Amino acid sequence: MKRILCLFVIFLAILTLILGGCSVELARHKTADGINKAVSKTVEVSEYDKGSVFMWEVKAREGDGKLYLLGSIHVGKDDMYPLNPIITDAFESSDILAVECDSTSVFQRPDYLQLMEKLMYTDGTDIRDHIPEDLYEKTDAFLREKGLSIGFFSLYKPVVLAQNITSLMLEEWGYSSDKGIDVYFINLARERGMEIIEIESVEFQFDMLGGFSDEIQIMELRHTLEGIETSRIILEGMLEFWNTGDVRSFEELISQEDDSLSPGEKELYREYEKIMFDDRNLNMADKAEEYLKTGKTTFYIVGAGHMVGETGIIKLLRDRGYTVVQQ
């Protein structure tokens, strides 16, 4: 509810590479006028957040451990590259690449089919048994306009449908997950034989996506369909602020309240945010501290939305006494 999010952009959804899917939700049903007002709002910047890229340096309290915390955008275009030398130089000086999970190797896993079952109905029901009829018809109508049908996804949970709908739109707008920051550095690390570690895991993200209640999944699918008109504006704003390292404007853009939500939806969004962000951010901050103690330099990439805000990794580490400086 706090965040207007392109979850594909700030959350590495494994479905991207498995199903050609994309975001659980691209926009939280906000108007373009509301978005523009948030973008234009001026926010005070701390002395540590005046860099030019969406990356921070953190040094260990003892020893030589160091982190470069890079907030990722998980989709992109060719014109995003080459990246700012500040980012690539930090990568070149690092010993280890840490990512949310290595989605590029999922197809090679022997348990691939078992993982997919986490996102499917295996109890004899299908999606029509789990979502309202009006949402079923609306989703089918949208997919048929794109040459598809909801029948192709009948055994998959609504989160899969929502991601594929956003995938279709991102493709139309010229974006690709292959051009995302995570995939770019995973491939680069693999080429140079650099160690790659997972901050979370493939299993964790599948369990999380497949484990949302029917109520949350219905809400996400509905708002994905309703938010398409403003989604592109949000994505373009996020990319603009990411490219210039404008952390505060980025945070403002993704932190808008949605006054259209019913009390019940607000409660669902609070539950959703806790699962998707607050709980995970704590684990990500713990992992960051763990890597700092190794004495090595770790290039640490997670979705940009995990970095910012009152429960973001940057604030969590600062609250723990670390000096976290934007580059």
DSSP label at residue 11? S
Which 3 state secondary structure label does DSSP give 147?
A: coil
Residue 2 within a domain: no
Q: How many domains does the chain have?
A: 1
> How far apart (Å, rounded) are the C-alpha atoms in residues 145 and 268?
30
Structural domain that includes position 194:
7-326
pLDDT for 197? 97
Residue 273 within a domain: yes
Comparing CA positions, the residue from 183, 174, 5, 182 lying closest to residue 79 is 174
Q: Which residues of the chain have pLDDT under 50?
A: 1-43
Q: Give Cβ neighbours of residue 212 (< 8 Å, ≥ 6 apart).
A: 157, 159, 220, 272, 275
| DSSP-derived pairing of the beta strands 297-303 and 195-198 | unpaired
pLDDT for 40? 42
Residue 12 within a domain: yes
pLDDT for 49? 80
Q: Kindly list the strands in the beta sheet with 297-303, ordered across the sheet, starting from the edge strand earlier in the chain.
A: 195-198, 96-99, 297-303, 66-72, 55-59, 324-326
Residue 236 within a domain: yes
pLDDT for 232? 83
* 326 bridge partner residues: 56
Q: What is the pLDDT of residues 137-180, one digit of tens each?
A: 999 999 999 999 999 999 999 988 888 888 888 889 998 888 88
Structure-block tokens of residue 284: 């990500």
Residue 285 within a domain: yes
Query: What DSSP assignment string belongs to 93-143?
Result: T-SEEEES--GGGGGG-TTHHHHHHTTB--SS--GGGTS-HHHHHHHHHHH
Where are any strands of DSSP class E within the chain? 55-59, 66-72, 96-99, 195-198, 297-303, 324-326
Residue 1 within a domain: no
